[in-house]
Structures are given as C-alpha cells and as structure tokens.
Chain A
C-alpha cells in the first residue's frame, strides 16, 4: 500500500469503507508512521489551536482512539491553490498524517477515479455517512443565471453544494473564494460568485479564508473537532478564533519598527533591506485577522511580511475590493475616480471653504448694515 494518498487507488470505495473501523492511531501504526512523528504532529496541532503545551498528550490520546471522519472535497470556481497548499507541505511526514487522519472519499483533483465512477464515490459517501461526514469546499459558487457558470459532472456548483453541504456534519470553506467569493466575486463579479455560507444558508459552515488557506489551520480545525467533539469557537465572519482571533499587526515580527517609527519608504531602500515596518507601503496587517505571524506557511518557513512584502489582507471579506489599492494605506474615495485620495479631496474642500468665506468677508466689509429696531431685536 502506498504511503501517499494519491497512490492509494481512490477508486476503491469498498476498501476505504473498511478502514473507517480502525482508529487513527492504528492506521498510522500500520503505515509505519513513528510514534515520535505522531507526537510531534500532535504538539504542532496543539500550538496551532492556540492551546497550552499541556494539551498535547490529550490531543494524542484523543487521536489514538478516535475513528477517522469521512471527508469529501469539492472544487468550485477555484485555482486549486488550497489543495496545492495542503499537498505540497514541505515536511512529508506531517502531510502524510494530515491525509491519513482523514478518509478523503472524494477529491476531484487527487482521486484516481474519473467520470461516473467518481460521481458514484461521492454519492455513496454522502449517502452512507449522511450527517456524519465533513465537507470541504474550495472555490466560490456561481449564482447568476441559475449558477450555470460553474458545473461539475453536469450539475451546477450551487446544486452540488446544496446536496453535499445539506447532509454534512459541517462544511469547511477553505480559502478566500469558498469563504467570501474571493477573486471571482471581486467587482464587477460577472458570475454572481458568493462564498459557501451565502450560497447554502442554514448549514454549519466554518470559514478558513486566506489565499491560499494555511493547511495547518485546516488540519487543526479537524483535529479540534476530533479531540473536543465540537467545532471550534468562531468569530463574526465564521472563522475559528484560534487562527483568526488576533490581528496580524499585533503579532507581527516587524511591530517594534512600527512603534519605533522606522518605516520602509520605498522598495529596496535602506529600511527595506533592514526589515523595517511596511506600514507606509500599504501593509494591511492592521486590518487583517490571521495567525500568519505565528503559524507562517509551508511548515513555518515564511510568510509575506517576513519576505519583505506588505500584507494584502487576503483573509478578510472581499479583500480584492476593500483592501485595494494594495500598496496604499487608504482606499480611494468612491465616486471621485482613481487616484483621488482622501487628502487631495479634503485639501480641495478646505481651500474652497477658505476662498468662499474670504469672498463673503470682503462683500460684508463693503455693505452698509442696518440696526435692528425695537420689534425685531431679540435682546
């Protein structure tokens, strides 16, 4: 049996169903994942969930005993970047554990089956595990003109989302597109793209926005469910607080330079080479909630601000529209055309008011006033 999921022959649904009876601990042992690697993974997940290190043994114990949840992964209007982020993790052992913890019964991008066989696997999974499977959705859902702009297997994405999310224990919307519509929903949004929560109201949806999603946050969300038996606490945008509960700006490694007053003034200047704060280059860290500074990407290798690029705000709703221009602090003023900043308009207002009152004052200096009489006088 191959170690990676791709080598497992995903078409064999029966074979998969048998493995639902084994606990995660047993499966990992069968697959030759060492106890040390497993515990290291549990510690990493404990940290990702923002729990104290003393919880790591509890996480390990729970994962040892718990049965693998069935998971189906649907691709909607997406670039598959979230799948890439999950599969191309630098450390193969952790990636293996991530994939082994889940029984991925359907995943369009990586499954071996195709056509009717693939659709059969999905139908079987959602029928057999109704109310007990986890659905992961990647990509936005088109709603305009009956949702015809996105179809898979002859069904619109909207239909598939209703069918699959409706019977799911919970739906995890991975990436900004699935969470809020992403780039497809950016103005003028020709396909009427929306996020899962908006497309399928009334279902349990956990949003894991980001472009791409941080695979650690996806795994930690699932581990949280396996360990505690419930979905993690969410913020008002439906995002888990353990991953989106703090602002990037408040945990940023360049924050001391912000407080000190040391800024990058232009690309490649002295401050940029010394790693100063990117605030003046339009960094949206002060407006973005994500655990990038602590969790980082690709096994904690790096993240945009560490690499010298300002935060684009990719995990916030409609960031393509609300966070632009990317390299400026403030958005342009709506209705005044591009490049009209608030300061230019404000200065125009002040100069205009000053000029108007100067003229008024001059005219007043020239006119002859009349004293009010006894009746018109107020006091």
Chain B
C-alpha cells in the first residue's frame, strides 16, 4: 500500500512541515497555535506548542539546514522560530501587510523566505545582520487578487506565484547584499527585484499550488476548474500544456521527479501525473486504493452524501477517533487534502512525501514498489 503511516493529529490541519531529520512534525490544528510532535518510543508525543499568533496559522516551513521554522498567519504577521536549548524563540517579522498572510516558503539557500498574502502582494523577507532584524520587501501591484501559493526556483532568485485572479507569475527576487552575482543564472541576470519574468494566463478560475521541477525547467500549477498546467521553457516564450481531469479540483502539487507530479485536493486521494517520452503530461492513476476506473455508483453516492448533508445528517457528530482510516470510499484522507510536503530526498527524486488536510490527518506515502509509478521515477 502506498500510504505507510496515518496519524490523526487534530480535527483539522491547515498546514504541516517536518524537521530536517524528520523526527518531528509541526502543524497548525486550525487555530492560532503550531503544535510540534516528536516520535518518542513509537508514539508521537506533543513536545512544543508555538503560541504567538493571534489568528489561524496558514503557513509553516521548517528550513532543512538552519533548523528554523517560519510561520505566517491571518493576523498579518510572520515569526521566525529559533531553537535555543529546549525552547523555540520567536522573532517577529513585520510583513507590512493589511490583509492575511496565506503561504510561506524558505528559499533553497534559506537566506530569504517568501510570503503570499490576501493583500495582492508577495513579501520577500531577508535577515539584516547589522540591525538584527528580518526585513520584508514587497512585490506590489502585480497581482490582481490574493496570492495563494509561492514556489522558489532552485536558483534562489526566481519565485513563482499563483493567485485567485487565475494567473501564475514568475518574479525575480534579486536583493543586493543578499544574493550574489554568481548565484544568478543567465536568464535572470538582468532582472531587478520584483521584475515580472512571465505571466501565465491559462486558467479561467482561481489558481492554487505551484511548484518547480527539481531542475527548475518545468513549472506545474493547478486551477480550480479541475485542470493542471505544466509549463516548460519558463521565459519569454513558455510552452504550456493544459491537462483536464475527471475529478474534483486540486489544491497543491509536488514534483517527485522531472517527469512525475503528485496532485492533492478535493478528491481526498493523491493523483499521479506523468510525462511520457515525448513530454506529454497525463493523469496516470490514484495513489490510494480506489481504482481510477469510473463507476456510476461512485457519483451516485457522492450526490446522495451531499443530499444527506443538506438534510442535516452532518458527519460532525462522529468522533474523529472512531473513524477507521480508509473507511470513506476506501481512501485514506476523508476530506480535502490541502498540503503536500516532500520527505527523505534521494538526489533529485522524492520517494516519500506526506499530506495533510481538513480531516486532521498527516499521511506518509511511499512510492517504492508502486506499479506504473516506478517507471517514471
């Protein structure tokens, strides 16, 4: 089975992140706190609660080398947490936003992080040694709506964003004194901070979840109209592919190799997309137990479930602990999956990853020995 571990940590999880050695997991249980769990004697125990935000925490990222946690929240602020002894010490980062912060990601070199917000702006934050202070530089007036996701190119300069205006954009985030000349690639060598490299206008509805492939050659993002978009040659003349699928829309994506993408979303079951030898992307199969083949009864049951909800047969009465995993439709997650994080990288490939969602579970998946899938890894 592809799902190797299922942890019911909370009623609902907005986002999660792993410590560098993956012995600890941080997540937000749909409130203003971040809980850190550690594996102690085969049991996951709560070891820290990070309390500083006033409102729901929407983004967590744990840097791999410097062991720092960055969190962002609807309260429009961000904190960088450093472990000092047994304590996690927060440093406030004033983002200068007038709307909620929605997502955050450390840059590959971990000297900057990017925050997407509901204020139609992206903040690029970096540490100023002389002032002992995190500075936030804004990319303004480029987005027409909330920024739902940010993704760093491996070169530490280019940043891709998706927005509820349906567009995916790529910016240069070159900051003097932080980035050096040699860290720039030829394609972005002339661009200043905040300069838009390309705007992709493929989706007619909200865009979510953007990621670069390990090499940075391909970009993938999803639309709220059950479409996924793959873009090669990101630059003046990008090559785009639109892939429509028959299921509910996706919320986030992850490249596990140059030729394979995992998409997660409202269908509660990770979907595998892969490119064939000619570079044509297509849907391969579901990663969970449910078969990709269609059946009318499936939709029948989904419709009757919806009617059931209309007539007040709400599922909220059930205690989450009593719900057996993989009971609903034979899949592991029982609600929308909104976060996917890679685990244990082996070179450019990711064989393990974890997902979390509105059902409060963190699920670890392994792609080893998965039929069809291993051909593309």
A-B interaction: no
Residues on A lying within 8 angstroms of B by beta carbon are: none
